[in-house]
Amino acid sequence: MGNNFYVPGFLVSVANAGIKGSEKEDMALIYSETPAVVAGTFTRNQVKAAPVILTARRIKSGLAQAIIVNSGNANACTGLQGKKDAQEMTALVARGLNIPDQLVLVCSTGVIGQPLPMDKVKKGIDQLLKNLTPKGWKEAAKAIMTTDTFPKLVYKEGEIKGIPFKLLGIAKGAGMIRPDMATMLAFFATDIAISPTLLQPLFKEVVSASFNRISVDGDTSTNDTALILANGRAQNPGKTREDFAPFAACLYEAATALAKMIAKDGEGASKLVEVVIQGARSIKEADQIAMTIANSPLVKTAIYGEDANWGRIMAAIGRAGVEIHPEKIDIYFGDICVVKNGLGQGERAEKEAHIYLKNKEVLLKIDLKLGKATTTWYTCDLTEEYIRINATYRS
Amino acid sequence: MGNNFYVPGFLVSVANAGIKGSEKEDMALIYSETPAVVAGTFTRNQVKAAPVILTARRIKSGLAQAIIVNSGNANACTGLQGKKDAQEMTALVARGLNIPDQLVLVCSTGVIGQPLPMDKVKKGIDQLLKNLTPKGWKEAAKAIMTTDTFPKLVYKEGEIKGIPFKLLGIAKGAGMIRPDMATMLAFFATDIAISPTLLQPLFKEVVSASFNRISVDGDTSTNDTALILANGRAQNPGKTREDFAPFAACLYEAATALAKMIAKDGEGASKLVEVVIQGARSIKEADQIAMTIANSPLVKTAIYGEDANWGRIMAAIGRAGVEIHPEKIDIYFGDICVVKNGLGQGERAEKEAHIYLKNKEVLLKIDLKLGKATTTWYTCDLTEEYIRINATYRS
């Protein structure tokens, strides 16, 4: 993805504040020249980081103008000092941009339970305020990375009743990824004109159908946040949810693209795995089964080993807490049917599937034959590298 | 554990039928010279292996006399043929022992979805019938192993109103271990005299408090089975549950000892982890939190890395689905308090905890300060070796 994308009215900058103690950028600032309509979704973990609590409260006004982000330290489980630090980050940005504190949001990601190094953070904010530019999005996507191996950026254009709009999104993921948000940050900027009462439910729905359908390891972080700022520069018409259908579709595509990148870049992952459940009684039941498969260490290690070990998939389906009929189930790797009506299709099918599993992106499709509901999840395989990354993360 | 333990009236034997294709024994037969009172618990996975379905049906009579077991093949997802094969295994044993089919139980563990090699199984059964001996329990514990690295055997003696009884148990575990049974087989033989109506609820309760509180990887198998045979040779008195309290205590100790061995021998495990939750509102809530911690890949890799990364523990507690007060929580590694009232206790505590984590058996204690309920779970760390074992299991 190139580096020339921008959305009119938005500026971004990055800084190396030394929070990560490395050469890498670890702070980013996203700024809308005018107050923008905001929507957000947050971790459902009861242990919420200080910036999550502050940002969730502030977006209730429906307006925001800046997002200050740091990686390397989550500012989670940091008590009263953590709350003060999060507030101070927004106050410093607000003063520098000459806007109210209330319009500044804050996100942190990284190690839990250590106080933010505020001296470094302050110097970082000074740098960020000086370097704002319309085209710094790819650098921003890099600056918010923790154990991510590549930056995640998406850019889309669309039209509402002939009026063009732009949408840009960046995200970070890597570990602790599972539904209900992960150690996942995602920021969208768009020039669309939309009311907060339309944007918030629409955004929540899109997040449910994208970021909440990926899983790396079944862990859920304290810091997950997805935010969207819409500054209205496009001057499009539109009052009802139906009017915004083209925008909703565009946002869904962008969010799904970022979600796939996150799954693909799961810690230590060597393969992106698409899990499709068909023939479920309800989407809820389909999601329940897809999640159980996507979180199963035994399924994920088998895919890493390029082993079409469908018995582990059957076992995962059987323990998902959904009533099923094992003797109806079909399982496919790509187009190769390895299980038909609950029975293995023999060594030849498994050998073909073994060859198919050498691909870097693999499809795992299950037909339950119980109803018409369907869902798609994304996950990754589980490798020794995941263990190495997470056993040594802080050392 | 030595090799001279036995329970009066019970005989065992092992055979190398070549199901695993190795030099190792892969079949075992447990035989009670007289019909014994039986109780059992089985996987709650909806995908149940053929032998599980057959054995669960047969124990309803309250009596059994033999258990035929094979490792190397789970006889799961094998359709009608699998059901016939399970039935035939019991029929062959029944004929050889000259007892009714109905009194023979069958258990299988190993790869899912491949037909049982019945030629090999039949030859194995011929050997088993010839080699029955009172003292073959350790060999039997070896023969039922799959990826286990050591045999699991426990022996206890007790008294009911001055009359001595004996209890012997063997088990296998290793992967796919989580509550509601795992790829776990456990067999107990005792000479106690007890009615089926007392034994079944007592056994179920003991299993819930022992085997259902261990977790290796959160996967649940299609084959899990725990069985107990009580042949009455002890001729003890006892009619009420209270009369059998000494036996219940003895069985609980034996089951917990085997459960700990299973957790310690989790695939690739380098450490046994005891997770104690205190101060919960209810045992159910305590179990829910303990299970979430015991299943968290991030917690388990941190323990492998000997990193007192309590932030991951806080995050796991926060996503367990139990209402908590993060600012009340205390976390200990052994006796070392690393979190007090939700706040980290600084680098010195973490360094002490890091040294503590070099032990092979570690205690992780969480006080929620919400109530009086407490629970203890056992799990293991997550290592590269788990990945290697499971990526290459069938190759």
Among residues of chain A, what percentage have pLDDT more than 70?
Answer: 94
**What pLDDT is recorded for position A56?**
96
State the amino acid at position B321 in one-letter form: G
Question: Domain residues of chain B, as ranges?
Answer: 10-264, 272-391
Residue among B176, B291, B180 at smallest CA distance from B225: B180
User: Do B46 and A318 lie within an 8 Å CB cutoff?
Assistant: yes
Q: Counting beta carbons within 10 angstroms of the beta carbon of residue A151, is it exposed (0 to 12), middle (13 to 18) or buried (19 or more)?
A: buried
Would an 8 Å CB–CB cutoff place A382 in contact with chain B? yes
- What is the arithmetic mean of pLDDT over B92-106? 97
CB B35 within 8 A of CB B64: yes
DSSP helix/strand/coil, B129: helix
Tokens matching residue A368: 């339950």
List A343's β-bridge partners, or say none. Answer: A340
- What is the arithmetic mean of pLDDT over B142-148? 87
- pLDDT band for position B7 (cuts 50, 70, 90): very high
DSSP B173-198: -SSS--SS--S-EEEEEE-----HHH
- pLDDT band for position A178 (cuts 50, 70, 90): very low
pLDDT beyond 50 at B181: no
Look up residue B133 and give its DSSP letter: B
Between CA B265 and CA B263 the distance in angstroms is 5
DSSP helix/strand/coil, A331: strand
- pLDDT band for position B15 (cuts 50, 70, 90): very high
Between CA A80 and CA B87 the distance in angstroms is 65
* Higher pLDDT, residue A181 or A280: A280
Residue among B390, B395, B391, B392 at smallest CA distance from B183: B390
Which residues have a Cβ under 8 Å from the Cβ of A355 and sit 6 or more positions away?
Answer: none
**What pLDDT is recorded for position B38?**
96
**What pLDDT is recorded for position B281?**
97
Q: Provide CATH code, domain B272-391.
A: 3.10.20.340
- What is the arithmetic mean of pLDDT over B260-265? 88
Which residues have a Cβ under 8 Å from the Cβ of A152 and sit 6 or more positions away?
Answer: A141, A170, A171, A172, A173, A258, A261, A262, A265
Between CA A50 and CA A58 the distance in angstroms is 13
* ipTM attached to this prediction: 0.73
**What pLDDT is recorded for position B182?**
41
pLDDT, chain B, mean = 90
- What is the arithmetic mean of pLDDT over B234-261? 94
Between CA A134 and CA A9 the distance in angstroms is 8
CB B308 within 8 A of CB B354: yes
Between CA A44 and CA B228 the distance in angstroms is 43
The pairing of beta strand B343-344 with beta strand B361-367: unpaired
- pLDDT band for position B68 (cuts 50, 70, 90): very high
**What pLDDT is recorded for position B392?**
67
Between CA A353 and CA A344 the distance in angstroms is 12
Surface of B (110-149) touching A: CB under 8 A:
111-114
Between CA A72 and CA A111 the distance in angstroms is 6
- Find which of A177, A217, A298 to mutate to test the B interface (most B CBs within 10 Å of its CB): A298
Residues of A in contact with B326 (CB under 8 A): 46-47, 77
Between CA A34 and CA A32 the distance in angstroms is 5
DSSP helix/strand/coil, B60: helix
Between CA A56 and CA B102 the distance in angstroms is 63
**What pLDDT is recorded for position B234?**
95
Between CA A385 and CA A378 the distance in angstroms is 19
Domain pair A10-264 / A272-391, same fold: no
Between CA A144 and CA A253 the distance in angstroms is 22
pLDDT beyond 80 at A4: no
- pLDDT band for position A107 (cuts 50, 70, 90): very high
Would an 8 Å CB–CB cutoff place A307 in contact with chain B? yes
Between CA A376 and CA A366 the distance in angstroms is 11
CB B40 within 8 A of CB B61: no
Q: Tell me which residue has tokens 């389909």.
A: A286
Q: Tell me which residue has tokens 């070896």.
A: B142
Between CA A181 and CA A168 the distance in angstroms is 20
Between CA B114 and CA B112 the distance in angstroms is 6
**What pLDDT is recorded for position A1?**
46
- pLDDT band for position A387 (cuts 50, 70, 90): confident
Would an 8 Å CB–CB cutoff place A293 in contact with chain B? no
Which residues have a Cβ under 8 Å from the Cβ of B360 and sit 6 or more positions away?
Answer: B270, B271, B272
- What is the arithmetic mean of pLDDT over B163-182? 72
> What fold characterizes domain A10-264?
L-amino peptidase D-ALA esterase/amidase (3.60.70)
Handedness of CA B196, B198, B199, B204 (dihedral sign): positive
Catalytic residue selected from B55, B78, B183, B292: B183
Between CA A333 and CA A353 the distance in angstroms is 6
- What is the arithmetic mean of pLDDT over A19-28? 88
H helix runs in A44-78, sequence order: 50-58
State the amino acid at position A378 in one-letter form: Y
- What is the arithmetic mean of pLDDT over A308-319? 89
**What pLDDT is recorded for position B180?**
36
User: Do B314 and A222 lie within an 8 Å CB cutoff?
Assistant: yes
Would an 8 Å CB–CB cutoff place A47 in contact with chain B? yes
- What is the arithmetic mean of pLDDT over A258-267? 86
pLDDT beyond 90 at B178: no
CA dist A374 → A92, A209, A251, A278, B211 (Å) = 47, 12, 21, 4, 35
pLDDT beyond 80 at A49: yes
pLDDT beyond 50 at A90: yes
Would an 8 Å CB–CB cutoff place A313 in contact with chain B? no
Q: Tell me which residue has tokens 């005792």.
A: B190
Residue among B76, B75, B66, B55 at smallest CA distance from B96: B66
Tokens matching residue B157: 């003696």
Residue among A283, A324, A281, A315 at smallest CA distance from A296: A315
pLDDT beyond 70 at B61: yes
Look up residue B307 and give its DSSP letter: -
Residue of B47, B114, B342 lying closest to A77 (CB–CB): B342
Residues of A in contact with B219 (CB under 8 A): 296-298, 312, 315-316, 319
Tokens matching residue A386: 């995941």
Give the distance from residue A392's alpha carbon to the nearest chain B alpha carbon, in angstroms: 6
pLDDT beyond 80 at A218: no
Instruction: Tell me the three-class secondary structure of A337-382, residue by residue.
Output: EEEECCEECHHHHHHHHHHHCCCCEEEEEEECCCCCEEEEEEEECC
Q: Tell me which residue has tokens 């990826």.
A: B147
**What pLDDT is recorded for position B1?**
46
**What pLDDT is recorded for position A43?**
84
**What pLDDT is recorded for position A177?**
46
**What pLDDT is recorded for position B216?**
61
Between CA B6 and CA B11 the distance in angstroms is 8
Residue among A148, A276, A152, A264 at smallest CA distance from A215: A264
What would you measure as the largest C-alpha separation in chain A, in angstroms?
69
- The pTM of this model reads 0.81
Between CA A376 and CA A63 the distance in angstroms is 33
